[in-house]
Amino acid sequence: MTTPKAVLLIADGLGDRPIKELGNKTPLEAAEKPNLNRVALEGECGLMDPIAVGIRAGSDTSHLAILGYDPYKYYTGRGPFEAAGIGMDVKKGDIAFRCNFSTVDDNMVITDRRAGRITSGTDQLAAAINGMKLSNGIEVIFKESVAHRGALILRAPDLSADITDTDPHHEGTAVMTSKACDPNNASAAKTAQAVNEFVRKSYEVLKDHPVNKERIAQGLNPANIILPRGGGIGPHMNSFECETGLKAACVAETGLINGVARYVGMDITEVPGATGGLDSNVMNIGKAIVEQLASHDFVLCNVKGADLGGHDGNPQAKIDTIKKLDEMVGYLVENMPKGTYLVITADHSTPCAIKDHSGDPVAIVFWGEGVRTDKCQQFDERSVTSGGLGRIRGIDVTKIITQLMNVQEKFGA
Ligand code: ZN
Ligand code: ZN
């Protein structure tokens, strides 16, 4: 018997609240979605709290939970997953940060947090920063990401992420001094000192760099400092394959989700036309999923669009993304190898009225051989409450998938 396969499709930020302009429907209720409804009709539905009831989940913590890793145990900050997402090799105990290339004046006051949204030359700036020597011997690894973004790893035994940020998060304010959250924590004090030295030296190295001289000559803001934030300690996590026995691939549009997937040993897939924006070619993502199923048992997929619509407070953008998702689900149902399980859910709600993530639970459906079909006929936040799953948590999802696939070790005799 061949091992069954599974696809876990996560529509980022799909969940919403009733919206007056939509006749008090959510975007998912208002959207035409015959394929999602078919999956709901043939599958088993319910509500899912990504972390726990009422908790506002981030995309990273939610994906960890849904993949079976307790975020309260493994998550100390976004940095390690951002760094892994751009291909950096984050090791256990590393302190990793997401960073901005920013612009400061001579008094270290931030005049542009995004350095004129710099789009080129950051590779040369990063090369000048990477390997910087710090006085306490902590190793510095730095890499540029897209636009004004980058990631920093500090590597040494006994570091701590319990430190404050140097980035004040708004302009017109001086760069702050990082401090240990607990003054008695020597590891944190050492790490904070390293961050402060790194930020100061980044200014010394970058302020007269040829890339910045050229920018100034063109009237652009120089990327003359690097501001780390969101520091977290590289957690020790078993690979997804070790935990589940499933060889896994990830098809996602954002570095953060690719970072979570890479951190647990999944293969990362590049999809042409998958922009992570509202213009993304979602059907190409579906095709990539089917391609990955040829060589993997499990494919994690994240489609970003619905979350953007939520953050923008734009219900129509959400509805448009749902339409594209629906077409992609139709393609999956027709083209996945026979016996593949399909799970569709969201990593959190991003209600248009809030323009940010909320703690509202999201719809979830399990579809495939042997699933206990229930009375639910439509895939939306309220219809699924009649489903057989009731209300589950993110941490339950992978367990349900592996038991449906019959690949889970028995607990007991
Ligand atoms: Zn998300
Ligand atoms: Zn979001």
Is residue 170 over pLDDT 90?
no
**Ligand closest to the CA atom of residue 308:** 2
CA-closest candidate to residue 329, choices 35, 7, 32: 35
User: What is the distance in A from the centroid of ligand 1 to the CA of 130?
Assistant: 30
8-state DSSP, 275? -
Q: Are 32 and 327 in contact (CB under 8 A)?
A: no
Taking the centre of ligand 2 as the mean of its atom positions, its distance from the CA of residue 206, in whole angstroms, is 32
Overall CATH class of domain 6-75+236-404: alpha beta
Ligand nearest to the CA of 347: 1
- Give 313 Cα–ligand 2 centroid separation in angstroms: 12
Give residue 59 CA to ligand 2 midpoint distance, Å. Answer: 7
Is residue 66 a contact partner of residue 260, using CB atoms and an 8 Å limit? no
Q: State in Å: Cα 269 to ligand 1 middle.
A: 19
Query: Quick one: which ligand is closest to 59's CA?
Result: 1
Q: Using the mean position of ligand 2's atoms as its centre, give its distance from the Cα of residue 335 in Å.
A: 30
Identify which ligand lies nearest to the alpha carbon of 12: 1
C-alpha 181 – ligand 1 centre gap (Å): 28
The whole-angstrom separation of Cα 241 and Cα 389 is 26
C-alpha 308 – ligand 1 centre gap (Å): 9
pLDDT tens-place string over residues 8-37: 999 999 999 999 999 999 999 999 999 999
Rounded distance between C-alpha atoms, residue 143 and residue 153, angstroms: 9
Please state the domain extents for the chain: 6-75+236-404, 82-233
405 Cα: distance to centroid of ligand 1 (angstroms): 26
pTM equals 0.92
Q: What is the pLDDT of residues 257-272, one digit of tens each?
A: 999 999 999 999 999 9
pLDDT, one tens digit per residue, over 76-116 is 999 999 999 999 999 999 999 999 999 999 999 999 999 99
Per-residue model confidence (pLDDT) at position 3: 76
